Amino acid sequence: MVKAVVLGAAGGIGQPLSLLLKINPLVSELALYDIVNTPGVAVDLSHIATPAKVQGFLPPDDGLKKALTGADIVVIPAGIPRKPGMTRDDLFKINAGIVRDLATGIATTAPKAFVLVISNPVNSTVPIVAEVFKKNGVFDPKRIFGVTTLDVVRASTFVSEILGDLSLAPSVKVPVVGGHSGVTIIPLLSQSSHPLPTSFKAEALDALVNRIQFGGDEVVKAKDGAGSATLSMAYAGAEFAEKILRAVKGEKGIVAPTYVHLSADKAGGDAIKKEIGKDLDYFSAPVELGPEGVVKINSLGKVTEYEQKLIQAALPDLATNIEKGASFVDAPK
């Protein structure tokens, strides 16, 4: 029996993500929480002929607490999305408080649940969740994840486009590490399961890296004021949630890049700090998942000189984003 909860379930990501969780056979109960519209979304989804029982909750009458009671996995896509011209960091002002309050609900009601943070800026919202859990004495770094799967999904798609065969997309695997914004998104294309053509020139590599790093902006621009990626994010979020659920069921060897507190696996985390040459608390790295969450943080592997430069370029922003999130919870209001 697995209870999944979506916080922000009525939104652009929340609705399709809830749909994908409803049709996931590993989910037996699905609770949808938002400040609006969840009763309707829940009734709509509840007519789908799959086993998961669906219920919608709103803030009155302790709705958040009711939604979270008994939760095994909580996915958070609550918060405002970008408009053209904004950075993810511009969302901090509003989303930090939303994430802090929702994290407080999880820490007090379902402290053992796996928490998957989608709300931006992920580089800062994950530290916010961690600090709230620390404050409540329930912090377990093995159970808190920043969802960076969309970067991995984009890398698979864009590489398969370059290879001229979109049918390869599901099997193209590229580790994407670092964080989830602009230059902090670091695709390790030299480790692609499907190598780039030997004719691939330096400028083409720059362009591909840039497209993966700024894939979110491509969508924001195309949506022209109507928000950011929702459908591809729902796909990516459901894919990552499914990996967690399969690992919980005992499947071995599931590895996915995700943004975690590096103490989740001290030896692995220390090795990452050495590889990047900086003592950061958080980094997205390939993580092996198991029944209790993080089993092992894997090495970044052999990186090229070019990729090491990308890593070094990411570190200042990452450090600033982490500090901003970590210091928010105790900052005077």
Task: Find the binding residues for ligand LMR in span 69-108 (CB under 6 A).
Answer: 81-82, 88
Residue 220 touches which member of ligand LMR, ligand NAD, none, C-beta under 5-8 Å by kind = ligand LMR
Closest separation between CB of residue 285 and ligand LMR, Å? 18
From residue 242, alpha-carbon distances to 34, 152, 248, 255, 326 in Å are: 22, 15, 10, 12, 28
Print burial letters for 126-154: b (CB count within 10 Å at least 16), e (below 16). Answer: bbbbbbbbeeeeebbbbbbbbbbbbbbbb
Minimum distance of ligand NAD from residue 96's CB (angstroms): 11
Element (H, E) at 297: strand 293-297
Q: Is 8 in the site for ligand NAD (CB under 6 A)?
A: yes
Rounded to the nearest 10 degrees, what angle do helices 231-248 and 14-22 cross at?
40
Q: Rounded to whole angstroms, how far apart are CA atoms 210 and 233?
A: 19
Residue among 47, 180, 194, 261 flagged as catalytic: 180
The residue of the chain with the least Cβ separation from ligand NAD equals 11
The answer for residues whose C-beta is within 8 angstroms of residue 14's C-beta and 6 or more apart is 6, 8, 32, 34, 41, 77, 78
Q: Which is nearer to ligand NAD, 8 or 196 (CB)?
A: 8
The interface with ligand NAD within residues 16-75 (CB under 6 A) comprises 33-36
Q: How far is CA 82 from the centre of its chain?
A: 16
The residues facing 3 across adjacent strands are: 29
Q: Which of residues 19-48 bind ligand LMR (CB under 6 A)?
A: none
Identified binder of ligand LMR from the candidate list 18, 109, 120, 258, rule CB under 6 A: 120
Asked if 166 interacts with ligand NAD (CB under 6 A), we say no
| From candidates 52, 233, 247, 289, binder to ligand NAD by CB under 6 A | 233
Look up residue 37 and give its two tokens.
Answer: 């519209």
For residues 304 and 312, what is the distance between their CA atoms, to the nearest angstrom? 12
State yes or no: is 180 an active-site residue.
yes
Site for ligand NAD contains 127 (CB under 6 A)? no
118, 129, 130, 155: which one binds ligand NAD (CB under 6 A): 118
Establish whether 120 is an annotated binding residue.
Answer: yes
Q: Distance between CA atoms of 206 and 221, rounded to whole angstroms? A: 20
H-type helices in the chain, by residue range? 14-22, 38-46, 63-68, 92-109, 122-135, 149-162, 202-213, 215-223, 231-248, 266-276, 305-326
Q: Which of 22, 142, 180, 324 binds ligand NAD (CB under 6 A)?
A: 180
> CB under 5 to 8 A by kind: which of ligand NAD, ligand LMR, none does 13 bind?
ligand NAD
184 makes contact with ligand NAD (CB under 6 A): no
Q: Are 255 and 265 in contact (CB under 8 A)?
A: no
- Identify which range of 26-34, 215-223, 272-280, 324-332 contacts ligand LMR by CB under 6 A: 215-223
| Binding status of residue 258 toward ligand NAD by CB under 6 A | no
Q: From 39-47, 200-208, 213-221, 260-268, give the range in contact with ligand LMR by CB under 6 A.
A: 213-221
β-pairing, 53-57 vs 29-33, is parallel
CB 135 within 8 A of CB 165: no
| Closest residue to ligand LMR, based on beta-carbon distance | 216
CB of 78 to ligand LMR, least distance (A): 14
Q: Which residues are annotated as a binding site for NAD(+)?
A: 8-14, 34, 95, 118-120, 233
Active site residues: 180
Binding site for ligand LMR (CB under 6 A): 81-82, 88, 120, 150, 216, 219-220, 228-229
